[in-house]
């Protein structure tokens, strides 16, 4: 798809306050996009929908970086958009339309077998679905091919383990040049970090959202934290966010670390750096099944939408192979589109899809407990303390569990 200046101008005009189409039926669509490419892509999809539905106009509202504040204000004033991008389903679910009955009714049209189940799970709370997925990323390990070749270290392969990664990482340690094999974030986003607990056979909180003890502070959870802390201690990895705010992506792009665990959002910057790199799936803890967190958002319908059926019609169109293929700034949610574009076999993008295929077994903690924000703060403190102490994970996790007991239902 070619994005034209005219399309971008149209997207801007539609977002202006006071824009109206009195002669048409208007669907208001709120997005958080700020970059011209995403804005133009959404406008192109909206235009396709309008062409197929004469008399309908899709009004794209650019909430940008103030998305949550603007959305909350609009809902509070009884002026919510009909459609909106969404990720924080626990916070907004009471203002969103559950779409399970619509999905069941139009299952043949939606062809859900073409959408990995892990993506459909990202918007489910208490068995209800509040959005269709719009794009995703999983977590992978980027590695510097030139550094591996120079060190005579075999490149990572599918099926590798954390023991394999640590063995390789030790080969790159160089105190004089401050070069390391890997980077451990001392202040990771707990949302992403739970993937390591899943891969080691545990999770932050029970599936009913009521129990932390035996989960967050389990031996398996402590083993994960202690492993990363030991990697810092043995200098197999450099610690991020302890006394130095240089991001891991910068260290990787300048050849200071050989491996960097991240997601699709890092790819553009790595491409621009010009280094020769490869991508590997996340390592496993021994023979245990590996699991990645799925970073995904959805397209939701307001429960106060003026015409829920028309809004649902747009959501369905947004989920068609045609529209999915137009969203070139996202990894496609449909297997058929990924295969058509060669992304499922390209050695750089294939690991993202490989991780997605095995990452449909768990539900993120923030979807299980309405007080997760407070619990997560205690967890983050425990993770950072373990990395600073370079050990003692069980004690720190026990403290987090005790401090969080009052937030359980």
Look at residue 332 and tell me whether its pLDDT is greater than 60: yes
* pLDDT for position 7: 37
368 to each of 250, 261, 322, 323, how far by Cα in Å? 35, 26, 34, 31
94-119 mean pLDDT: 96
The pTM of the full predicted model, rounded to 2 decimals, is 0.89
The answer to whether residues 301 and 315 touch, using CB atoms and an 8 Å cutoff, is yes
* pLDDT for position 245: 84
CATH number (3.40.190.10, 3.40.50.300, 2.70.70.10, 3.40.50.620) of 140-293+369-407 reads: 3.40.190.10
Token reading at 323: 């529209």
Look at residue 111 and tell me whether its pLDDT is greater than 70: yes
Look at residue 83 and tell me whether its pLDDT is greater than 90: yes
At 154-210, the pLDDT tens digits run 999 999 999 999 999 999 999 899 999 999 999 999 999 999 999 999 999 999 999
338-363 mean pLDDT: 95
Report how far residue 64's alpha carbon sits from residue 345's, in angstroms, rounded to the nearest whole number: 34
- Least confident residue range of 20-34, 95-109, 183-197: 20-34
* pLDDT for position 361: 80
Report how far residue 65's alpha carbon sits from residue 60's, in angstroms, rounded to the nearest whole number: 15
Look at residue 1 and tell me whether its pLDDT is greater than 70: no
242 to each of 146, 186, 189, 239, 383, how far by Cα in Å? 28, 7, 15, 6, 12
Report how far residue 236's alpha carbon sits from residue 230's, in angstroms, rounded to the nearest whole number: 8
Mean pLDDT rounded to a whole number for the chain? 92
Strands 25-31 and 83-86: parallel
Domain ranges of the chain: 5-137+295-357, 140-293+369-407
395-402 mean pLDDT: 98
The answer to whether residues 264 and 137 touch, using CB atoms and an 8 Å cutoff, is yes
* pLDDT for position 232: 96
Look at residue 20 and tell me whether its pLDDT is greater than 60: no
- The percent of residues in the chain predicted with pLDDT above 70, rounded, is 94
Q: How confident is the model at residue 329 (pLDDT cuts 50, 70, 90)?
A: confident
* pLDDT for position 382: 98
Q: How confident is the model at residue 22 (pLDDT cuts 50, 70, 90)?
A: very low
Q: How confident is the model at residue 288 (pLDDT cuts 50, 70, 90)?
A: very high
* pLDDT for position 13: 34
CATH number (3.40.50.920, 3.10.20.740, 3.30.1330.10, 3.40.190.10) of 5-137+295-357 reads: 3.40.190.10
At 302-326, the pLDDT tens digits run 999 999 999 999 999 999 999 999 9
**Fold match, 5-137+295-357 / 140-293+369-407:** yes
The answer to whether residues 60 and 33 touch, using CB atoms and an 8 Å cutoff, is no
Look at residue 10 and tell me whether its pLDDT is greater than 60: no
At 115-138, the pLDDT tens digits run 998 899 889 998 999 999 999 999
At 215-274, the pLDDT tens digits run 999 999 999 999 999 999 999 999 999 988 899 999 999 999 999 999 999 999 999 999
Exposure b/e, 223-243, CB count within 10 A at least 16 = b:
bbbbbbbebbeebbbbbbbee
Look at residue 17 and tell me whether its pLDDT is greater than 90: no
| Helix axis angle, 393-404 to 372-389, nearest 10° | 160
């Amino acid at each position: 798809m070619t994005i034209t200046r005219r399309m971008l101008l149209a997207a801007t005009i539609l977002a202006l306050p006071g824009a109206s189409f009195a002669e048409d039926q208007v669907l208001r669509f709120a997005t958080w996009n700020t970059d011209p490419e995403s804005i133009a892509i959404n406008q192109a999809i909206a235009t396709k929908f309008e062409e197929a539905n004469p008399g309908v106009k899709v009004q794209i509202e650019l909430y940008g970086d103030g998305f949550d504040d603007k959305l909350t204000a609009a809902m509070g004033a009884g002026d919510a958009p009909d459609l909106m991008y969404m990720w924080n389903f626990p916070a907004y679910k009471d203002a969103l339309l559950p779409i399970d009955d619509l999905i069941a009714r139009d299952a043949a049209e939606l062809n859900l077998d073409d959408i990995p189940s892990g993506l459909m799970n990202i918007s489910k709370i208490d068995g209800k679905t509040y959005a269709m997925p719009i794009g995703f990323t999983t977590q992978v390990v980027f590695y510097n091919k030139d550094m591996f070749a120079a060190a005579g270290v075999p490149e990572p392969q599918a099926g590798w383990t954390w023991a394999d990664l640590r063995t390789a990482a030790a080969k790159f340690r160089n105190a004089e040049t401050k070069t390391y094999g890997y980077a451990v974030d001392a202040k990771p986003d707990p949302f992403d970090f739970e993937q390591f607990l899943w891969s080691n056979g545990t999770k932050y909180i029970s599936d009913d959202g009521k129990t932390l003890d035996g989960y967050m502070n389990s031996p398996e959870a402590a083993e994960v934290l202690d492993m990363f802390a030991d990697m810092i201690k043995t200098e197999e990895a450099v610690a991020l966010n302890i006394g130095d705010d240089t991001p891991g992506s910068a260290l990787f792009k300048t050849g200071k670390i050989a491996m960097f665990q991240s997601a699709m959002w890092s790819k553009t910057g790595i491409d621009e750096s010009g280094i020769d790199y490869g991508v590997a799936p996340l390592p496993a803890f021994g023979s245990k099944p590996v699991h990645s967190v799925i970073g995904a958002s959805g397209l939701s319908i307001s429960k106060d939408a003026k015409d829920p059926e028309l809004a649902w019609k747009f959501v369905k169109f947004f989920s068609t192979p045609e529209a999915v293929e137009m969203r070139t700034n996202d990894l496609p949610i449909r297997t058929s589109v990924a295969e058509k574009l060669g992304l499922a076999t390209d050695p750089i993008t294939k690991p993202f899809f490989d991780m997605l295929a095995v990452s449909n077994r768990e539900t993120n903690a923030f979807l299980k407990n309405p007080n997760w924000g407070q619990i997560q703060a205690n967890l983050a403190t425990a993770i950072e303390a373990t990395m600073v102490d370079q050990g003692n994970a069980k004690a720190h996790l026990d403290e987090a569990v005790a401090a969080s007991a009052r937030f359980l239902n």
